[in-house]
């Protein structure tokens, strides 16, 4: 069964959601990250997707205190992304309590460094982040499009076993994910666990992804907008 992974995106310690990756089109929420994390844990969630949007635009992670708070006060496995652009930053993310680290910009722009991380930390700890815009990989907080496809990255990093693939055009839009993209990728690369990211609008989307053989899905804005409730997640996980 597909695993639901709630997302918490952070700017200046607050929960936010962007539309199509645009920092100027953001919605801030009153919920505190730790409170949200605890509520997800109570609903039976095992893994949390935590994104440091300040870090994604900066030279390194900016919300490590929030990461540490959630890591020390819940039992959630945390996959952390945003600003991991050096080995020191990567080590800090693990030191502050992340279970997994997501690297996108480094993989695309400094492949030798990502190779080193895969070797040093293992593919069970490293997640390749592939953020796509018009089929091309986007980096640096989604502001820069590169002449790379997700297939280019997969072929370059053969040891990788976990990939979060985000269709930026769908992210935060609540219009459904790119079903065919994910079905195609999972079908062609069976040994890789792909995580669907972007566009989830209802439990019907998740049910369809489950039927099509996807293994993980990130849900963000649909929860904040009450299109998917914690009860929905709890019931789905209990089946």
pLDDT in tens, 75-86: 999 999 999 999
- The answer to whether 114 touches 148, Cβ cutoff 8 Å, is no
Is the distance from CB of 147 to CB of 136 less than 8 angstroms?
yes
pLDDT digits (tens, 9 = 90+) for 66-117: 999 999 999 999 999 999 999 999 999 999 999 999 999 899 999 999 999 9
pLDDT value, residue 14: 81
Listed in sequence order, the residues at least 6 apart from 128 whose beta carbon sits closer than 8 Å to its beta carbon are: 102, 103, 104, 107, 114, 153, 157, 160, 162, 163, 164
Tell me which residues of the chain have a pLDDT lower than 50.
none
The number of CA neighbours under 13 Å toward the Cβ of 79 is 22
- Print the domain residue range for 215: 3-237
Question: Which active-site residues does the annotation give?
Answer: 9, 131
pLDDT of residue 17: 64
Domain total in the chain: 1
| Whole-number Cα distances in Å, 138 to 9, 129, 145, 206 | 18, 10, 4, 25
What pTM did the predictor assign?
0.92
List the structure tokens of 79: 């996959």
122: domain CATH number is 3.20.20.70
Distance between CA atoms of residues 88 and 122, nearest Å: 16
pLDDT score for 28: 62
Distance CA 131, CA 150 (A): 8
Buried b (16+ CB within 10 A) or exposed e, 173-190: bbeebbeebbbebbeebe
């Amino acid at each position: 069964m597909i695993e639901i992974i709630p997302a918490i995106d952070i700017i200046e310690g607050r929960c936010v959601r962007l539309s199509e990756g645009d920092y100027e089109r953001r919605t801030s929420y009153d919920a505190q990250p730790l409170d949200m994390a605890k509520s997800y844990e109570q609903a039976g969630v095992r893994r949390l997707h935590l994104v440091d949007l300040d870090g994604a635009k900066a030279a390194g992670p900016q919300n490590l205190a929030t990461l540490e708070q959630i890591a020390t006060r819940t039992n959630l496995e945390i996959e952390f992304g945003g600003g991991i652009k050096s080995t020191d930053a990567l080590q800090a993310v693990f030191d502050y309590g992340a279970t997994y680290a997501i690297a996108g910009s480094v993989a695309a722009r400094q492949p030798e460094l990502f190779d080193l991380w895969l070797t040093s930390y293992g593919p069970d700890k490293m997640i390749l982040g592939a953020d796509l815009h018009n089929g091309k990989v986007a980096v640096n907080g989604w502001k820069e499009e590169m002449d790379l496809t997700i297939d280019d990255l997969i072929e370059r990093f053969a040891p990788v076993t976990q990939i979060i693939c985000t269709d930026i055009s769908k992210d935060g839009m609540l219009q459904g994910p790119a079903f065919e993209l994910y079905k195609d990728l999972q079908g062609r690369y069976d040994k890789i666990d792909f995580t669907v990211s972007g566009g989830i609008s209802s439990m019907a989307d998740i049910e369809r992804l489950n039927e099509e053989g996807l293994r993980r899905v990130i849900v963000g804005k649909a929860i904040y907008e009450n299109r998917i409730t914690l009860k929905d997640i709890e019931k789905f996980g209990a089946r």
